Structure 1
């Protein structure tokens, strides 16, 4: 037998077998400025928000959801408008 019995398998991968780096790949990549990671995701607002569990009627939720993406923001705006028009 000519091969070594405990030979280590090569970990080398041919770079020609690597997938092509597309625009989608770079759109999902992390972005750095120097050593600082630029965070993606929700934009930061001047108003702090708080996660809350609350129950609404199904028809109210469905009406806001039917308006498309951002329905929770529009629900918050509707509540704020109501607060501004009612004095406690």
Structure 2
């Protein structure tokens, strides 16, 4: 998201389903999820030099260590982008 959300997320998280007004939201048709498509950013194979102990630690966490490294890098990227927008 490029703009800061004006939603009161804490209040929404504390609300029960019955308290949330969904009257302006159309119901999803039964075939919605049959037609839905998931679009993810494309992956690119790279060669990186990572400290041996860092790589070892991620591998010890089990299957999916590359995905976890990618998520951490993405979180850092987003944080840096947000900081740049504020300045």
The structure where strand makes up a greater share of residues is 1
The structure where helix makes up a greater share of residues is 2
Larger Rg, first or second structure (1 or 2): 1
* TM category, shorter: 0.3 to 0.5
Q: TM-score, normalised by structure 2?
A: 0.46
Q: TM-score, normalised by structure 1?
A: 0.46
